[in-house]
Structure 1
Amino acid sequence: MTTTDNQYSGQRFHGENPVLKFDDLDVRFRTEFGTVHAVKGLTLSVEPGEVMALVGESGSGKSVSATTALGLLPKTARIQGETRVADRPINNLSARDLRKVRGKSVAMVFQEPMTALNPVIKIGDQLIESMEVHGVAYGRQAWNRAIELLKAVGIPGAERRVNQFPHELSGGMRQRVVIAMALACDPEVIIADEPTTALDVTVQAEILDLLRSLKDKLNTGILLITHNMGVVADMADNVAVMFKGNIVERGPVEQVLLHPQHPYTKKLLAAVPHLGDGPGQFGEAPNPVAETAEAALEVSNLVVEYHRTGKKPFRAVDDVSFDVRRGEIVGLVGESGSGKSTIGRALLGLIPSHSGQVKVLGEDLLSMKGSEMRQLRKRIGVIFQDPAASLNPRFPVGGVISEPLEVHKVGDRKSREARVHELLEAVQLPRSAFNRYPHELSGGQRQRVSIARALALNPDLLIADEPTSALDVSVQASVLAMFTTLQKEFGFACLFISHDLAVIDSLAHRVVVMQYGKIVEAGTREQVLLNPQQEYTKRLLAAAPVPDPIEQRERRAARHALLKELGDEIVELDTRELDFEK
């Protein structure tokens, strides 16, 4: 049975030799608005060869807790309790002694590899830096070891890659480089802070395979920080759930995920979309669409090219055709670089199309210019991925939502204000939000403002580009529930662009799968997600984790079998390339 924090108090949860231990850790931050109590008496340990998942939403305190182990908290933090790494207390270590611990005893794999890697230093030089600092290897020996590390984490052409810069590598390769850097000095424990959040689903599966083999083959302890319950089900041995600075539940992964005891854990798990459960996971399912329904969007043989000086044009979208009917939600899915967001921008007229035809509500979009285009745009709404970047920070929420009405000269000031209040109610925001600014709202509230703005002109077609990917799982669930309700109420057609197959499964009528600018498979949700015909679709579906550890083990085995059948290698740490083993 899982244990809640008050049941656990003071007991040792694991064995007697943890590689990382927090004992009654308490962290407060001094701010101009008062003291923020971020972590409240955390007691947690990680054993050799164990993956301990610390899960929770933004602001729960999980990343603050982990950062304590590296001594990286700012001077405004007041830390009480004890943190031990490899049985060495680090709370009161000097900056010099902390540098001896970082990389050597405890290493970190950060969420975004491009911010963790120096963009102006070669990969090889970044790998040898920690080796030379800790006296592990120098000069040519260190350089050879860097090559061995890249080979060990499955990067092909390692001798060439060490001389490249981070921007020359793909996102998955960059994350493997970060893991290689973490391994460089053979640490006892690795802290992985959202190590797969920025990655495509197939790359995420490869990174999880790599981390799993790391702990199995080197007996390294891993503290996995994440809000993705599918990743927890795939990786973790034990789980601790954090909420507002407290651990509210902990236990073996199967017990916590399959038999949660605390209301917050139950709420968190209920908010996770489950691939295969279909529409209606978050409230009502969208209305069915008649076969004879009129097309709101018709895309025929669309081609989008990017022209580069002195080089052949790059074809980002290649001969793409699909349609969206009135009242229908079509999911456009694919990995980074597949061309799905480029299609969204082309449909909005934000980038030029090379050839093809796009009809919006029966009108030819590509041939329109000036006032004709503005009139058509009144009938198209758009929701961008990042609400913080798409909302004007100088406008209050009321001004943000009413801006489309003002641009298109719809109504007078009084009627616009009434429309804004009507929309705030529709997206479940209080009337008081009218005079607040975007930075005063949470991420979920900002995305609701984006949806309200998109609906301001009662559009017939809505283009939603990754509208929930930047949100916590419970906020995502509430936004998806609201989105489905609004779609039923307003009846708009929607092109929903996403890389999250479970999200698409929860609301789409039909699915279009893209790879390298081309459509590889299209059909109803049931046809594509439950009975895929194409190899690429099968790979995508096999790589998507589910929040059930037993089912996920079966899915992982099936994915590995599929990869072997297709002649692909399973990514594992190759310890033969390393000169150390625990």
Structure 2
Amino acid sequence: MTTLDITSSSDATSTGDAVLSFTDLEVTFGTEFGDVRAVKGVSLEVHPGEVVALVGESGSGKSVTSTTALGLLPSNARVSGTVRVGDKIVGDLDQAGLRKMRGNDIAMVFQEPMTALNPVLTIGDQLTEALQLHGIAYGRQATARAAELLDMVGIPEAERRLKQYPHELSGGQRQRVVIAMAISCDPKVIVADEPTTALDVTVQADILDLLRSLKDKLDTGILLITHNMGVVADMADRVAVMLKGDLVETGTAEQVLTDPQHEYTKRLLGAVPHLGEGTGQADVAVAGGEEQRRPAPALALDNLVIEYHRLGKPAFRAVDDVSFTVGQGEIVGLVGESGSGKSTIGKCALGLIPARSGSVRILGEDFGALSKKQLKDLRRRIGVVFQDPAASINPRFPVGEAIAEPLVVHQVGDAASRQQRVMDLLDAVELPRACYNRYPHELSGGQRQRVSIARALTLEPDLLVADEPTSALDVSVQASVLELFTSLQQQFGFACLFVSHDLAVIDLLAHKVVVLQDGRIVEQGDRDAVLRHPREDYTKRLLAAAPVPDPLEQQQRREDRHRLLAELGDEVVELRIDPTSRDDRPARRKTPGAEGGNPLGGAFHGG
């Protein structure tokens, strides 16, 4: 496949100073079913102080390409071509050479910090381990350097944090710890593999600010692996697009994102929801005519309070005095950061956790006043779609049985009518009927989520609770699932509580928006009022942090966000060091642990 390179010669950087380069890289995996060519002749370079974004859908070969740079491929992989990290050829290194290269020359920031950090070691132990293994600092000096690293990446009270374990930190703080570990040995290049996918929109913006200051102040090259085009627009200098192992288009971020040449790139960008351009459903008439524009609530929460009780500790109030309604045939978007209480409210609406006080009324029925039989009858009228379909569908059931399970539980129909209902639902969610006898692991992520939606609609519910149903999907798969969701909602007329941290998705779907912070509602109203004309500072922060897939627009949004944070008295996250060129810092590895001096070099003094 021919690569479309739309980088002009004046924009291209000379190839001699590349800190990471792939030349004609091919990776083939030997399996019991034959060879699988995961990467097919990829050539790509990353230069000092440059961010190159490698984008594409799952299975395109992005992560395999990046993993070759660290020599971490499994034993069944065959690699041809040349991978260079600085002046080292990765394929020529033995295990000792690879260990020395990792950290000293190249480091990695993984997608999920909880899997990258050891849960049984303190943060301090994990940071000092890297410093000691590479001979940079030992003992108290290593502990002091570890605290300095945490301070550099914007973690307050660094000395106290060193004694904590990963589970005691928030998701954003854990990701900053991973970044601190990555820069601890002053690598020439960092591979960031989906570093913000699992983070809230505000935390994501902070991490991107941190990575941006990292490459500016340390002149570090960054290979950014992502499927989020907003992140690409915010971070990347150049973009490389992969499809089924091939590099199909490369160019500057502005060229690729605003004037794509390859059809696949155009499809990817066309599938990305753009905050501010969503039509929502504020003007869509609810089925049934004018008299049903203000239907009776399918879900009504009144002064809802939810608490978690812990042995020997005060109760934790997760939801505090929350009141809102979801009308029949209406989609209400529930947004906020992690820990704001979104999923807790969704679980309470499903009857999975009790309310401390207040009331939850489903279709006029008070959850707290019903008997077990009445609750079971009411739950027939509620459907649910979870974030991860692989975890919410029984892997031992074929797809047909998984979709039919609600019919069996509620004793609806006979075997023949249940099978027909499943077939009709497979048609409705645009899955082939041949999926009936397949198992979940035989389907893609998008197909599994369609199965989840079909199962949620099996009993024709009046209310659907959707908890982050598209956050784990590729952009093109997300677009098709959202389009399907919208058409099904208009066809079946169900009400929906849609929980999400993606404001662009809410902009695309919702009639109304409810914004949560620390268990309390800070703002609610029609989609247009909340997302276009927010009144509260917290809502403004959320909207300002949401990236858009246009480099010039995103640059302006980033500047506006920094201005807003300054007005609100908040700090912009950046690497807290004195900018020093890399040429001034080569000696720090020559005399590890030498008396006096700073083994991390001048660039690692807190500024």
- Cα distance in 2 between the residues matched to 1:136 and 1:262: 46
1:304 aligns with 2:326: no
8 Å contact kept, 2:513–2:527: yes
Following TM superposition, by how much is the alpha carbon of 1:134 offset from its aligned partner in structure 2, in angstroms?
A: 1.6
Deviation at 1:579, TM superposition (A): 3.7
Q: Tell me the amino acid that sits aligned with residue 142 of structure 1.
A: A
Does the aligned pair in 2 maintain the 1:51–1:221 contact within 8 Å? yes
> Could you tell me the TM-score, scaled by structure 2's length?
0.93
Cα-to-partner distance string for 1:85-143 (whole Å, 9 max, x where unaligned): 01211113110110010000001111111111111111112112122222112222211
Q: Residues 187, 233 of structure 1: CA spacing in aligned structure 2 closer, same or farther, 3 A cutoff?
A: same
Which stretch shows the higher mean deviation, 555-564 or 363-372? Answer: 363-372
Deviations 1:54-105 (A, max 9, x none): 0111111010000100000011000000000012111131101100100000
- Letter of the 1:292 counterpart: R
**Is the aligned partner of 1:581 residue 2:603?**
yes
Q: Is the aligned partner of 1:138 residue 2:160? A: no
Structure 2: how far apart are the matches of 1:228 and 1:8?
Answer: 21
Q: Distance in 2 between matches of 1:226 and 1:550?
A: 19
Q: Aligned match of 2:436 in 418, 434, 437?
A: 434
CA deviation digits over 1:207-240, x for unaligned, max 9? Answer: 0000000111110000001000000000000000
Residue 16 of structure 2 is aligned to residue 14 of structure 1: no
Q: Which runs of 5+ in 2 are unaligned?
A: 580-599
Quote the residue 1:29 is aligned against.
29
Task: Specify the SS of the correspondent of 1:48.
Answer: coil
| 8 Å contact kept, 1:279–1:286 | no
* Separation (CA, whole Å) in 2 of partners of 1:287 and 1:84: 59
Matching residue of 2:180: 180
1:527 equivalent to 2:525? Answer no
Are the counterparts in 2 of residues 383 and 450 from structure 1 also a CA contact under 8 Å?
A: yes
Equivalent residue number for residue 158 of structure 1: 158
Q: How does 1:477-496 map to 2 (within 5 A)?
A: 477-496=479-498
Instruction: Look up the SS of the partner of 2:148 in the other structure.
Output: helix
Separation (CA, whole Å) in 2 of partners of 1:6 and 1:258:
15
Using the alignment, how far apart are the partners of 1:7 and 1:178 within structure 2?
A: 33
Tell me if the contact between 1:20 and 1:87 (Cα under 8 Å) persists in the aligned partners: no
Q: Which residue of 2 aligns with 1:268?
A: 268
Q: Which residue in 1 is equivalent to 2:240?
A: 240
5 Å-filtered alignment, 1:90-489, equals 90-279=90-279, 287-288=285-286, 290-489=292-491
Report sequence identity in percent: 68
Q: Deviations over 1:292-318 (max 9, x none)?
A: 322111111111111111111111111
Cα distance in structure 1, aligned partners of 2:369 and 2:30: 58
Q: SS in structure 2 opposite 1:142?
A: helix
CA distance in 1, matches of 2:284, 2:65: 41
Contact 2:4/2:262, CA 8 A, preserved across alignment: no
Q: Indicate the residue corresponding to 1:53 in structure 2.
A: 53
* Separation of aligned partners in 2, 1:409 and 1:223: 54
In 2, the alpha carbon distance for the partners of 1:13 and 1:124 equals 41
Give 1:74's aligned residue: 74
CA distance in 2, matches of 1:292, 1:444: 34
Structure 1 gap segments, 5+ residues each: none
| Paired AA for residue 96 in structure 1 | A
Query: How many correspondences in the alignment?
Result: 577
Partner of 2:596: none
Alpha-carbon deviations, 1:488-524, whole Å to 9, x = none? 0001111101111100000100000001111110000
Given residue 81 of structure 1, which amino acid in structure 2 is its aligned partner?
G
- C-alpha separation in 2, matches of 1:514 and 1:280: 20
Structure 2 partner of 1:536: 538
Checking the alignment, whether the CA contact within 8 Å between 2:403 and 2:451 is kept in structure 1 is: yes
| 2:17 aligned counterpart, secondary structure | coil
Contact 1:285 1:507 in 2 (8 A): no
TM-score normalised to structure 1 length? 0.97
Let me know the Cα RMSD of the aligned residues: 1.8
Amino acid corresponding to residue 153 of structure 2 in structure 1: V
In structure 1, the residue matched to 2:553 is 551
Secondary structure of the structure 2 residue equivalent to 1:316: strand
CA distance in 1, matches of 2:428, 2:92: 53
Report the CA distance shift for 1:580/1:244 in structure 2 as closer, same or farther (over 3 A).
farther
Q: Is the 8 A contact 1:329 1:494 kept in 2?
A: yes
1:306-345 Cα offsets, whole Å, 9 max, x none, are 1111111111111110001111100011111000100111
AA matched with 1:196: T
